[in-house]
Chain A
Amino acid sequence: EAGVTQFPSHSVIEKGQTVTLRCDPISGHDNLYWYRRVMGKEIKFLLHFVKESKQDESGMPNNRFLAERTGGTYSTLKVQPAELEDSGVYFCASSQGLNFYEQYFGPGTRLTVT
């Protein structure tokens, strides 16, 4: 069974540009989470989808971040316009059930904003 995949693995963009990150969860997992790790800090929650609906987006830093999950399958996270402080590793995770099920993580996308 394929694990969680993320694309691209690494993105380098200039401040003010737009970047879209993609996550493909494990097939059949309705729950999809986005997390971010800024250099030297802990991994922080961004948002949670259940199928195509946003269940919790309390961790989204500001309105420059837009997440979608069309059809309840893959998800995209768009940053527009990117700022220097957006640099970090963006992780996607999926889980089979709600509440306390283990989450399976992808390898992350390393975003560098220059």
Chain B
Amino acid sequence: AQSVTQLGSHVSVSEGALVLLRCNYSSSVPPYLFWYVQYPNQGLQLLLKYTTGATLVKGINGFEAEFKKSETSFHLTKPSAHMSDAAEYFCAVSDPPNFGNEKLTFGTGTRLTIIP
């Protein structure tokens, strides 16, 4: 069974500082990995994804994440935080097509607060 662990339910960073949101997963096969963002009173939207190929993936709003198979991690980073980045971030995992379980399994989320 798949699982996703997000370390830190709340993270606060100063505006302009590095953002690092941690995600570790467990999966029996090389997974597909996703980060979703949920702004206040809105639905989730896809931030970025890793399926195959380059392990460093770039998403919207300057975010990127690196798939590290040896560490079973997919941490989300942004070099310089902006006030508009304040939101809840969810890491999610699914099996690749034809591996039997393509449903998304979500982590518990990390609420990011930006300090002016």
A and B: real partners? no
List residues of A whose CB falls within 8 A of some B CB. Answer: none
